[in-house]
Structure 1
Amino acid sequence: MMGSIKALIVDDERFSREELIYLLTSYDAIEVVGEADSGDAAIMKAIHLQPDVIFLDVEMPKMDGMEVAKSVQELRKVPAIVFATAYPDFAVEAFRHEAVDYLLKPFDEEQLGVAIARLEKKLRPVESTVSRPSKLAVERDDEIHYLNPADIMYVYREDRLTKIVAKDHEYETKWTLKEVEERLKGFSFFRIHKSYLVNLDYVDRLIPWFNGAYQLELRGRKDKLSVSRNYVKGLRKQLEL
């Protein structure tokens, strides 16, 4: 297994730095190696710590985040950039600096999760294919069935059981939905609801429902799955070019 992704947190507001550091502790893939409260300090820390990624505030006095992003491109080890700001107006300019993502304050945990997934894909592109099991083992009728993740359409939680809907059968497991999600990490699955995990390869249509929520149709199935409002933005980012 490859090492953690080393992160430097840069923001002139202490509370924002502390909040983001706290949220990042939930991700085993991320190791926060330092923080800085100004653009000048960020460049010095980047030279000394050589982070893999900088979570970078845009609005800072003297040297703003865009200037920092431009400056670190000259370093021997160029870090990835994830901008973090309360202002959406900088998004276009941010992506001119080849930013991996653009987080809006106050931080949304689902949006942060999407950013971490993009970081892992960019910085650890081969990890999911190196020395990892390729089948999901599920017991059914006193037998152990080995499911190809590509054949799993979606997974959901019901009556204290987790149910796995594959192309040919439906299976039950005592694993929690979170445990199944962890086992399928690295494959094309995405959480669309607190009780549903879907294989993006089977998504056919998103249908507006109510209050910002959607219903999702999968190719080859008549049932519609609920997409919670909090997950819609992240889902669309994963699906759309």
Structure 2
Amino acid sequence: MASMRMLVFVTMLFCLFKVGFTGAPPGIKFSTSNSGSIIKIRAGYYSKAILWHGVKARFGIWDINDVDPLSSSGVYLAATNQSPGLEMIAAGFHVNPSLYHDNKLHFFTYWTTRNDYSTGCYNTLCPGFVIQPGEDLFPGVTIDPPYSSYGVRELDLTIQIKKDEKTGDWSLYKQYRTGERILPKTLFKSLASHAETIEWTGFVSHDRKERSPSMGSAHHARELNYKAASIED
């Protein structure tokens, strides 16, 4: 489990990227990629170690209301390995009209075991996450209001991905409850043992012909508490 204290304002990271910030110190991650006509931008924080067995974050929950049909915007935490190939488990919140056919905020999970993302899926669209009885926050569910309010309050939810030291399976925790969703270790090779990298990331994607949606609260990090979106360990 990550034990360090950190606070990342993803809107600030996004703005630094947009003005061409280079030479980022260790831990800060910026990336942009193209997939056909889709532009993807990510900004966040990562930590590498020999062994990670979990990652946790408290996410500020904001309503993102400017996402076009071919765009998406959200935030996630992830446990990953890059060797011998990409293996990743992720969970977070996003608006993704092409996936849900609406413009609502959803809780999501994602996993893959291939660099080309040809394995795995979002939520429960393929075998993977095993939903436990009595769930109230399951993969793909809509996050209904109230949301954070600019200048007034930031509402949040805590998400944790943790490896069970006895079974080796990965569990997903919401708030302070016990493990609720299980991702069997048999799905993975390197992640069956541990994760090499954990990350907290904000992201947007959009068609070249569309404007980019907002990231986080759509306000700069310099505005600080209750105004800029935050991710806190």
Please indicate, yes or no, whether the TM-score normalized by the shorter chain is above 0.5. Answer: no
**Which protein, 1 or 2, shows the higher relative CO under an 8 Å CA cutoff with sep ≥ 6?**
2
TM-score (norm 1): 0.25
Structure (1 or 2) with the greater helix fraction: 1
Larger Rg belongs to? 1
Structure (1 or 2) with the greater strand fraction: 2
TM-score (norm 2): 0.25
